[in-house]
Structure 1
Amino acid sequence: MARDIIILECTEAKAEGKPTSRYTSTRNKKSLNTPGRLEKVKYNPFLRRRTLHRELR
């Protein structure tokens, strides 16, 4: 299978001193469209708003 399971972590929660929210997702290993770290806007329940979540490695 050509998909990886990745973990997305909130980038704004650490600066505000709140717990970070994490999501799991999948990505295509062989895709040329996403060579770097994946970023998605997801909901952070601790901050009660949508924030940028970046892939952990």
Structure 2
Amino acid sequence: MWSDAHEHSVPWNQMADLYMDVPNNTIGIEVGKTNPNASIYDLVKIIMKELAIVVVE
């Protein structure tokens, strides 16, 4: 899957963004694969939990 294709041509001065984006992409891809029937709302909650972001409902 090439959801991170644009990260392969990152200029050297944006490498910090690359090191953040690639793990985030990996989490998002895995969450999507393991929750194919989840709603967008549920996917957001799952991803935020994976990224250790507090979700207030």
> TM over 0.5, yes or no?
no
Q: Which has the higher contact order (CA 8 A, sep 6+)?
A: 1
TMscore range, shorter length: under 0.3
Q: Normalising by the residue count of structure 2, what TM-score does the alignment of the two structures yield?
A: 0.25
TM-score (norm 1): 0.25
Which structure has more strand as a fraction of its residues? 1
Structure number with larger C-alpha Rg? 2
